[in-house]
Amino acid sequence: MPRILADLPDEDIKWLDARAAEQGKSRASVLREAVQEHRRGIEQQGIESFFGIWADRKAGK
């Protein structure tokens, strides 16, 4: 598995460490899961992301 280097603000690192401790997981594991969940959310949006995009238009125009 390739590694990445990412700079995060201190408050995000503290949040991430707390979340990892709560779940009994490593920081890296929590980050991997977050990326996977984010990808799933984007991939599942599909057509739903287009609902209502023309709501401000009137019929016939």
- Mean pLDDT, the chain, whole residue set: 86
- pLDDT higher than 80, residue 31: yes
Q: Is the pLDDT of residue 57 over 70?
A: yes
- Identify whether 35 is part of a domain: yes
Separation of alpha carbons 23 and 56, rounded Å: 45
**Residue 1 domain-assigned (yes or no):** no
Kindly state whether residue 21 falls inside one of the protein's structural domains: yes
Domain limits for position 39: 10-44
State the total domains in the chain. 1
Query: For position 60, what pLDDT does the model report?
Result: 63
Mean pLDDT, to the nearest integer, of 39-61? Answer: 73
Instruction: Scan for tokens 């984010």, then name that residue.
Output: 38
